Structure 1
Amino acid sequence: MLHNKKQAACGLIALVSGALLSGAAQADVVASIKPVGFIAAAIADGVTPVKVLLPDGASEHDYSLRPSDIKTIRNADLVVWIGPDMEAFMPKVVGQLPAKKSLEIASLTDVKPLLMRGSEEDEESETAGHHHHEDAGEHHHHGEFNMHLWLSPEIARNAAVAIHAKLLELMPRSKDKLDANLQHFEAALAQSNKDIEKQLAPVKDKGYFVFHDAYGYFEKHYGLSPLGHFTVNPEIQPGAQHLHYIRTQLVEQKAVCVFAEPQFRPAVIDAVARGTNVRKGTLDPLGMDVRLGKDSYVKFLSQLSSQYTSCLKGA
């Protein structure tokens, strides 16, 4: 009887150990921000779970990692992020990971030639009335390039290819599924690109202002006509001189729309637009309402396109 109990106990331990081992073999992918999670989720669909560090409603420009975030990063099999000029909260922890466990999109060989430089006008508008260059919140545009890379369909495709390669190293047995996922992503992205080009074609020449300069890659890719932005860093209010310039553009009807963001609804936009015929819209550069899944990245691009169109077209 005792022998049977021992056998049963050993069997149970083996079963639990097996379950733990199979769980450990399942690679967890951690994405710094939601749009990066969209791309990762497309490739990892049906293979491994994807987690996003940045909570909805938080800004990638001033986030601080919690102890639970640090634990999540350390336990991850793969961490995908943009780069130190975007997520200043990441380098210290990611730097402690082995190279095979981290993927920095901005440093990819195929991505580097596609990077857009921050313009001089960005720096001027940022410093008009403000000299806070040491502010932690101002980090994201003090690099040489615009780091809102996920808004470029071309860069997103390159990121997907790189994520696919990393996951293939981690899980060679899932090759067929990973290959199929990448193929699906590329086909869906190509179709989405055509649909968005068609949707935005009628509003390409309409002038507008965005709240902060997150959208350069998307605007360039689809040939839109932005007149400028209120601020480079959403944490810092634009200077009086810059606001006067925007107000003049609105009064002279060069712009048909001004866009706020879900995370930032500053009173300054209402004040500048008051008494003009300009419409107000909202652009969501992080896809707050989009759920992580196989087609979440193309849904995100499509949603952004619709947000542009509805305000620029008007009723």
Structure 2
Amino acid sequence: MSRKLLPLSIAAAIMSGTAMADAPKVAVDIAPVHSLVTRVMEGVGIPDLIISPGASPHEYNLRPSEASALQEANLVFWIGGDLTPWLEGAVETLSGGATVTALLESDGTVLLDIRENALFEAHYHGDHDDHGHVDHNHSEGDGHDHDDHGHEDHAKDNNHDDHAEHDEHGHDDDEHAHGERDPHAWLSPANAEVWLNSIAAQLSAADPENAGTYFANAAAAREEMATLSAEVTETLKPVRGRSFIVFHDAYQYFEDAFDFPASGAVSLSDASDPSPARIAEIQARIREEGIDCVMSEPQFNPGIIATVLDGTDANTGVIDPLGSDLEPGAALYPQIIRNMANTLAKCL
């Protein structure tokens, strides 16, 4: 009597289920970070995504299922309170027994200060080296030659008294005080490489049995990041030197990584719509300096960009730092970076 064999698909599902049952429960804040964690956990488990794709991470109401994921998590990975201050209390309350990793605090992360002037004057005058490296915090030994840019005095040199346009344009002083960190650090593939190691280390500490898989996945993903960066550099090469404006100032890590500076932002932050005076100022910049492209974002009112473009010859495109229309998973992060480069190249 011959023995019946299970179909391969069923056998694989059973084996996969066993691996998933043994995997630590992991919760992650935003889709780009979820993508990195998913890549490191491939073959072992799948992390839970807390903030729905397409939602703004700056303000969000947790669903019951997302609160449960935080409560059940053994590990939590998030950018940190700089991006999602509202999540800090939820993490402390719901994930008290979990190992929590704020990726902005990871050794080797390159950090940039939030820019206060939405017209990015340093870029406008062609002095790219003045724009952003303020406090790399953990830059020693990270292999990046950022210290020779001479950016350490940026926060000191820009006094609030010198920026009267904030009050004049209807902004309450500035939503971002001097010295605060720009939290959009995932848009630097170099930071993503650093975080892959941090993620693998924390997962391995919680789950030593699968440490080899975590570190092997992280190593492979770092090689993929290097390939991605080379690809993006090639994509941007034909339009290098052309000028663009973004909706809100969220992209300087991408700009810095690929030496591709924006000329300004329509809004100082995504906390409120730009004032009429700010829109008029941006329109003047577009006309006077021949700005090639103004980028919108899927999370924000497209009517504002239409108003900005009125009476100008600039093109427009949609750029998305969160991958709102992409399927969450390991492929999402590189696709975000690739899509940003492709959109810019087409628009410029």
The answer on 1:48 being equivalent to 2:74 is no
- Does the C-alpha gap of structure 1 residues 23 and 160 become closer, same or farther in structure 2, counting only changes over 3 Å? closer
Indicate if the aligned counterparts of 1:43 and 1:182 stay in contact, CA closer than 8 A: yes
Taking structure 2 as the reference length, the TM-score comes to: 0.76
The answer on 1:131 being equivalent to 2:166 is no
The Cα offsets for residues 55-85 of structure 1, whole Å up to 9 and x where unpaired, read as: 1221111112234322210101211111111
Indicate if the aligned counterparts of 1:203 and 1:224 stay in contact, CA closer than 8 A: no
Report deviation, 1:105: 0.6
Report deviation, 1:46: 1.4
Could you tell me the percent identity over the aligned residues?
29
Report deviation, 1:26: 2.2
- Does the C-alpha gap of structure 1 residues 215 and 126 become closer, same or farther in structure 2, counting only changes over 3 Å? farther
Taking structure 1 as the reference length, the TM-score comes to: 0.83
Paired residue type of 2:103: I
What is the distance in 1 between the residues matched to 2:81 and 2:50?
A: 15
Report deviation, 1:253: 4.6
**1:48 is paired with a residue of what secondary structure?**
coil
Partner of 1:307: 343
- Does the C-alpha gap of structure 1 residues 285 and 23 become closer, same or farther in structure 2, counting only changes over 3 Å? closer
Paired residue type of 2:231: D
Indicate if the aligned counterparts of 1:45 and 1:293 stay in contact, CA closer than 8 A: no
Partner of 2:104: 106
**2:117 is paired with a residue of what secondary structure?**
helix
> What is the number of residues matched between the two proteins?
285
Alignment of 1:84-103 (within 5 A): 84-96=81-93, 97-98=95-96, 101-103=99-101
**2:27 is paired with a residue of what secondary structure?**
strand
Unaligned 5+ runs, structure 1: 1-19
- Does the C-alpha gap of structure 1 residues 91 and 208 become closer, same or farther in structure 2, counting only changes over 3 Å? same
Runs of 4+ aligned residues of structure 1 deviating over 4 Å after TM superposition are 20-24, 122-127
Partner of 1:65: 62
The Cα offsets for residues 121-165 of structure 1, whole Å up to 9 and x where unpaired, read as: 1585765203287xxxx6xx4571111011011111111110000
- Does the C-alpha gap of structure 1 residues 99 and 68 become closer, same or farther in structure 2, counting only changes over 3 Å? closer
Indicate if the aligned counterparts of 1:255 and 1:278 stay in contact, CA closer than 8 A: yes
Structure number with higher helix proportion: 1
**1:277 is paired with a residue of what secondary structure?**
coil
Cα RMSD after superposing both structures: 2.3
Partner of 2:273: 237
What is the distance in 1 between the residues matched to 2:113 and 2:78?
A: 19
The Cα offsets for residues 189-235 of structure 1, whole Å up to 9 and x where unpaired, read as: 01111111111112221111100111010011111131100112223
What is the distance in 2 between the residues matched to 1:33 and 1:74?
A: 17
Indicate if the aligned counterparts of 1:126 and 1:233 stay in contact, CA closer than 8 A: no
Report deviation, 1:23: 6.2
Which of residues 189, 214, 221 is equivalent to 2:257? Answer: 221
- Does the C-alpha gap of structure 1 residues 95 and 45 become closer, same or farther in structure 2, counting only changes over 3 Å? same
Paired residue type of 1:109: D
Partner of 1:121: 117
The answer on 1:177 being equivalent to 2:174 is no
**1:85 is paired with a residue of what secondary structure?**
coil
The Cα offsets for residues 155-189 of structure 1, whole Å up to 9 and x where unpaired, read as: 11111110000110111111222122111101100
Structure showing greater Rg: 1
What is the distance in 1 between the residues matched to 2:217 and 2:250?
A: 28
Paired residue type of 1:131: D
Return 215-224 or 264-273, whichever deviates more. Answer: 264-273
